[in-house]
Structure 1
Amino acid sequence: MKVWHQLAELVRRHDAAALVSVHDVKGSAPREAGACMVVRRDGAFHGTIGGGQLEFLMLDIARGMLERHERPARFVDQALGPDLGQCCGGRVKILIETFGKQDLEDIDSLVEAEEEGEFEVECRLVDGRVVRDLSSAVGDDKGTQWRETHGENRTPVLIFGAGHVGRALVLALAPLPFAVRWLDDREGAFPSHMPANATAVRMQDPAAEIANAPANAVVLVMTHDHPLDMAITEAALRRGFPYVGLIGSATKRARFEKRFREMGLSDRQIRALVCPIGLPGIKAKEPAVIAASVAAQLLQVRERRSSVLNFSRPAAANDKTAL
């Protein structure tokens, strides 16, 4: 969810809205620091901080603040076990803020940054309100009290082929944190309506698509043509993407491996190929089942990559939350 976009839309439509954020977590909790939801005065909301009694309680507080036109932000330090009966047993600090039309200029600046992807803001309390400054514009005299990371961190996905499985996979990835580039060389291959996170491209040069793809992209090959599958997969394996998946059976894999060795690919490069695609143990071949299995596998790849990056990148001393 694009938090600031959603907040701006609700404020424009309903004059006011609240932002409920998980500011800090100690121990076990339903959601991580940075999880949030945007709340209307009537109680309708977008997003989640984990459901259950915690979410119901924070919704009530947010609605009350909106009804009373409260402007100061509120921090709620909440134990999950003894107070709410949630078996997580940890403790969370929730930040609840209200926004009205007088805040739209500030919100819109964050909407603009959000459109570019992930961005960081420096936060401080001024007269009870949270003031957010884009990190690139912050000087030493701003009095930063905590930092937040906003925007969507989407993993790039290249899907070659707009057949039944390709279509099912694009739909399966639609609500997930991926940015899909969907490629096919056939006229009329794509549906008329596309998910917001997918871009359909009439493919002209598969090699150029592989060469120009981000290094952290995941690649899935499922075209209508085996020689084309082979050419795209070979190029992707040579690039060394974190995931190269080829639709097909173990027999197809064996045939492709033989040709890849003849083409000069190393055993290490060939071992990186995922074929068949999807989680082991799921044998059904309906397109929707394959798509669900592959989507879960890509989430595992994304999680592993995120863990490696977080381990290798030291956190700033005053990092508090990511929204």
Structure 2
Amino acid sequence: MAFDLHGLRNAVTSHGSVARVVVADTAGSTPREQGAAMLVWTDGQSGTIGGGELEYRAAKEARAMLETGGDNEVRHALGPSLGQCCGGATVLRTEIYDMVRVDTLSDDVIARGPGEIPLSVRHLLAAARSQGRQPEVQRLDGWLIEPVVRPQIRLWIWGAGHVGRALTQVLAPLPGMAITWVDTGPERFPDNVPASVEILPAAKPELLVPHAPKDAHHLILTFSHALDLELCHRLLGHGFASAGLIGSATKWARFRSRLAALGHAKASISRIDCPIGDTTLGKHPQAIAVGVAAAILARDTATACRSGVKDNCA
């Protein structure tokens, strides 16, 4: 888990003062792990610290704190005091943020606690920064330390139809995901686009390909086979980390032939995955989105393990 600074900034921009409730510490069996967080504002919330009575009370207390300001930390014994099946205990830290406070936050690691920063925390932060690695979420000498979410996956979704909408809703909440969503006009997008998603309406989406980072991942699922083909053609000339195309085996066979006729090598064409998702799950938009999300998470975990970013890899 990590501190989603981008998500917090977007929430404060949209709703004014926002309470962030984070699981600061745990003991025994608990609904969520240390570092799990939710954002709460006057008439809504996002994220979860595990649901149930704990989350209900925490949200209620957070809304009361929006009126009074300040920060708070409370230990909850889940069984005795809340009647939840988990037998452990959770320490929740609630902090109130406006844009002035958000702008004071570090963009790599956020550490806070009582009094002067302890020498142990100074050493931990210095070591992490010198090694270019983020520390784990932890409590150290009374201070809570959270790494800030870094966008690790830059994903461009081409098309705002049923599958594009399902993909965005499933993928947007994942930490480290930076999504750019493209279609031919603003009317193509739903009203409830997640705040973390950048939408790019363009009459000719293919002209945006040069603006995509060369290490971006792409999912192509527009309303037009001709546009799908043009996007594949331009991405093959531009470069990408991965690319997936929605469609059948017949569609992909035709596309392979046409891309070859446009001068692309067989090895390059084979870098595009078609169909996307897990075909055993079916063709429902949400089923496709679940399959795509699972593949992205598996690939991201494997990459992090190879690079040494993630600990406890099998």
Please list, as runs of the form range in 1=range in 2, the aligned pairs for 1:113-152 lying within 5 A after superposition: 119-126=108-115, 145-150=143-148
Q: 1:70 to 1:232 in 2, by over 3 A?
A: closer
How far does residue 125 in structure 1 lie from its aligned partner after superposition? Answer: 1.6
User: Which of 267, 289, 293 is the matching residue for 1:299?
Assistant: 293
Counterpart residue identity of residue 93, structure 2 = I
Q: Which residue of 1 aligns with 2:133?
A: none
Once the two structures are overlaid, the 10-residue window that deviates more, 74-83 or 298-307, is 74-83
The change in CA–CA distance for 1:239 and 1:65 in structure 2 (over 3 A counts) is same
Instruction: Tell me the alpha carbon deviations over residues 183-202 of structure 1, each in whole angstroms, 9 at most, x when there is no partner.
Output: 33xx7873595724241332
1:97 and 2:94 matched: yes
Displacement of 1:233 in angstroms is 1.3
Task: Tell whether the 8 Å contact from 2:78 to 2:85 is kept in structure 1 after alignment.
Answer: no
* TM superposition shift of 1:275: 1.8
In the alignment, is the contact (CA less than 8 A) between 2:248 and 2:275 conserved in 1?
Answer: yes
TM-score (norm 2): 0.63
Matched with 1:244 is 243
AA at the equivalent of 1:303: L
Equivalent residues of 2:278, 2:288 under 8 A apart: yes
Change (3 A) 1:51 1:126: same
User: Deviation string for 1:14-41 (max 9, x for gaps)?
Assistant: xxx754211245676433432223457x
Whichever residue aligns with residue 278 of structure 1, its letter is: G
* 1:126 alignment partner, SS class: coil
CA distance in 1, matches of 2:8, 2:246: 36
Matches within 5 A, 1:45-124: 46-56=46-56, 58=58, 62=61, 66=65, 73-76=72-75, 78=77, 85-86=84-85, 91=88, 93-97=90-94, 99=96, 107-112=98-103, 119-124=108-113
Instruction: Output the amino acid matched with 2:158.
Output: F
> Aligned equivalents of 2:62 and 2:162: distance in 1?
44
Q: Which residue of 2 aligns with 1:321?
A: none
The alpha-carbon deviation at position 64 of structure 1 amounts to 11
The gaps in structure 1 that reach 5 residues or longer are 128-134, 317-323
Letter of the 2:292 partner, please give it: L
* Cα distance between partner residues in 1 of 2:223 and 2:269: 22
Aligned 8 A contact 1:157 1:217 in 2: yes
The AA in structure 2 aligned to 1:254 is A
Alignment counterpart, residue 158 of structure 1, candidates 156, 159, 162: 156
Structure 1 residues 303 and 78 mapped into 2: Cα distance closer, same or farther (>3 Å)?
A: farther
The correspondence of residues 284-295 of structure 1 with structure 2, limited to 5 A, is 284=283, 289-290=284-285, 292-295=286-289
Query: How far off its partner does 1:56 sit?
Result: 4.3
Task: Name the amino acid aligned to 1:22.
Answer: V
Quote the RMSD (CA, aligned, Å): 4.8
Which aligned pairs between 1:177-196 and structure 2 lie closer than 5 A?
177=174, 178-184=178-184, 190=188, 193=191, 195=193, 196=195
Larger radius of gyration: 1
**Which protein has greater RCO, CA pairs closer than 8 Å, 6+ apart?**
1
The TM-score with structure 1 as length reference comes to 0.62
Does structure 1 conserve the Cα–Cα contact (< 8 Å) formed by 2:182 and 2:200? yes
Which letter does structure 1 place at the counterpart of 2:109? E
Q: Secondary structure at the match of 1:251?
A: helix
Question: Percent of pairs identical after alignment?
Answer: 22
Residue deviations 1:180-233 (CA, integer Å, cap 9, x gap): 33133xx78735957242413325572x63343124433122345545433321
Q: Contact conserved, 2:21 with 2:58, CA < 8 A, in 1? A: yes
Query: What is the DSSP-based 3-state SS (H/G/I as helix, E as strand, rest coil) of the residue aligned with 2:188?
Result: coil
Change (3 A) 1:30 1:153: farther
Give me the whole-angstrom Cα distance separating, in 2, the residues matched to 1:209 and 1:247.
19
Q: 2:201 aligns to what? A: 201
Query: Counterpart of 2:246 in structure 1: which amino acid?
Result: I
Query: In structure 1, what is the equivalent of residue 21 of structure 2?
Result: 20
Letter matched to residue 183 of structure 2: L
How many Å apart are 1:70 and its aligned residue?
Answer: 9.5
Report if aligned partners of 1:279, 1:297 keep a CA contact under 8 Å in 2: yes
Paired residues of 2:167 and 2:289 also in contact (CA < 8 A): no
CA distance in 1, matches of 2:181, 2:63: 43
- Taking a change above 3 Å as real, the CA distance of residues 78 and 5 of structure 1, as seen in their structure-2 partners, is farther
Give the Cα separation in 1 of the matches to 2:95 and 2:190: 39
Say whether 1:232 aligns with 2:245. Answer: no
